[in-house]
Structure 1
Amino acid sequence: MTEHAEYTDHHGPEGPAIRGTVVVVPGRGETRETYTRLGRRLAADAYRVRVVDAVHLDADDPAGSLTRFGARIAEAVEGTAGPDGVARPVVLVGADTGAVAVAALLGSGESAAADAVVLAGLPARTAAPGDWDDELNVRTFCPAHRSTLVGDSGFRRGALDEAVPGALLTAAYESEADVPALILTGDADPLADRDALTRTAKSQPRARLSVVRDAHHDVLNDMQHRSVAAEIVTFLEALRNELVPLVTVESTAW
């Protein structure tokens, strides 16, 4: 792992060829530290992982927010290039408002930087409780993740109370970007709008909606983080195979 003023990089083991590039965009209140566990796990499967700072969405200038975000993502992707260029496919992984920004950006047609996206914990317009204990319960029941949030001096408590700009939220849910998309949500996430997520998934030409049992808003980091990471890796591997699953179940008793 290497640290920079604007991003954190996770490198895979020496030897295997890099299988693609993953850029992770945190959500409200989160820092790059929030995604250390996920970054290391994806890097262990030979993906080049870069975690950038959380995106700032300006309600007074939503279009400008997207333009600035798009430029920052393009720079982050280009900065991962090795001797043979950027390892493709390039996949943007957004959480909470990071997912909003990624979906809205791709839907606007302003960015060709991504070959696919993972949208985790897309929020609705529902506000979260202001109490810190309540916010922790909304976010996660994972003891390790809760400890990470509590111990991170850069994490902003109460950030889930911050409103998501309506124009960008609408753009995210109405995005019809023609790139493969994995949409992840927890069925115990009080901030999720399952009906809207279902409509969005059905409206996109190559989208999959995966619901994680008993997971909360921080679906990438909740108790089920191993299974969620496995779902992402399965998506990444299928993406390299023209979205044809590499493993299918022929017979099962469970």
Structure 2
Amino acid sequence: MTNAYDEPEGIAPRGTVIVAAGRGETTAAYARFGKRIASDGYRVRVLPDVTADSGQSLAEAGKLLVDDGLPGPKVVVGSDTGALFALDLAAGRAPGLDALVLAGIPVPRRINLLGWEAEVEARTSCPNHQRVLSEGAAVRGALEKAPEAREKSDVSLPTLGLHGDADSISPLGEARAYYPGTLVAITGGKHDVLNDVSHRTVAATVVLFLERLRLGADLPAIAQEQR
């Protein structure tokens, strides 16, 4: 089931963000992120674990992307295997897709986590998000199933990558090769980089990318440091 977060009343919508959750994640894992992006005027739709039923997830994302009731530009934000899902949409030239935000792309290797506490610690250092996960926003043990190996994707769409430099699930040094476009490393960030302790900075980085996208696919600069 898709969760929806809309722009504040009286504000003209600035675009649509479709969030593709990763391994074992429910839509509840992205309530804070969805509300924050929506507060800046974007309509947000969250898809649960896109690996649970990839066919249904592709169909649902496809419907959202061509829904005339949702404003453009339309951007898919994918976390973990949700990022791989987003890359697959781009590779298939999904109609209506304007850009990607890829967070915590997983490397194709199996990891062994010693219980739920260790899994939560590997996901995030944010106490609030740890609580949300433990209250049912993620399936326990889901991260231990390794994603399939794949080649680096050749994507022509505007793309923003976000990855924690303290990600033990998918180490930055190994994951870097799978990111097309711009990659932003988050200092001290863990695997659930959209929901980690630096979630405010990450959300601001996403919003800046969305605002630049509204100006054109070549992402014109908005803020420029002067010396």
Do both proteins adopt the same fold according to a TM-score greater than 0.5, normalized to the shorter chain? yes
SS in 2 for 1:240: helix
What CA distance in whole angstroms lies between the structure 2 residues aligned with 1:69 and 1:32?
13
Q: Deviations over 1:84-134 (max 9, x none)?
A: xx3110000000011111112312x24133100001010112324141111
- Name which one, 1 or 2, has greater alpha-carbon Rg: 1
The answer to whether the aligner puts 1:36 opposite 2:31 as a matched pair is: yes
Match of 1:102 among 79, 86, 91: 86
SS in 1 for 2:161: strand
Distance apart, 1:23 and its partner CA = 0.3
What CA distance in whole angstroms lies between the structure 1 residues aligned with 2:56 and 2:95?
14
Equivalence map 1:46-85=2 (5 Å)? 46-56=41-51, 65=54, 68-79=56-67, 81-82=68-69
Match of 1:134 among 118, 131, 134: 118
Contact (CA 8 Å) 1:128, 1:138: kept in 2 or not? no
**Partner residue of 1:27?**
22
**Partner residue of 1:221?**
195
Distance apart, 1:11 and its partner CA = 0.8
What CA distance in whole angstroms lies between the structure 2 residues aligned with 1:160 and 1:43?
28
Structure 2: where are the runs of 5+ without partners? none
**Partner residue of 1:186?**
164
Structure 1: where are the runs of 5+ without partners? 1-5, 59-64
Contact (CA 8 Å) 1:18, 1:48: kept in 2 or not? yes
Distance apart, 1:19 and its partner CA = 0.4
Q: Report the CA distance shift for 1:111/1:192 in structure 2 as closer, same or farther (over 3 A).
A: same
What CA distance in whole angstroms lies between the structure 2 residues aligned with 1:229 and 1:56?
24
Q: TM-score, normalised by structure 1?
A: 0.82
Contact (CA 8 Å) 1:106, 1:175: kept in 2 or not? no
The CA RMSD over aligned residues, in Å, is 1.8
**Partner residue of 1:90?**
74
Q: TM-score, normalised by structure 2?
A: 0.92
Q: Deviations over 1:112-161 (max 9, x none)?
A: 33100001010112324141111111100100000101112x52111001
SS in 2 for 1:220: helix
Contact (CA 8 Å) 2:65, 2:95: kept in 1 or not? no
Q: Deviations over 1:12-71 (max 9, x none)?
A: 11122110000001111110000000000000000010011211268xxxxxx4x65432
What CA distance in whole angstroms lies between the structure 2 residues aligned with 1:136 and 1:180?
32
Distance apart, 1:197 and its partner CA = 4.0
SS in 1 for 2:215: coil
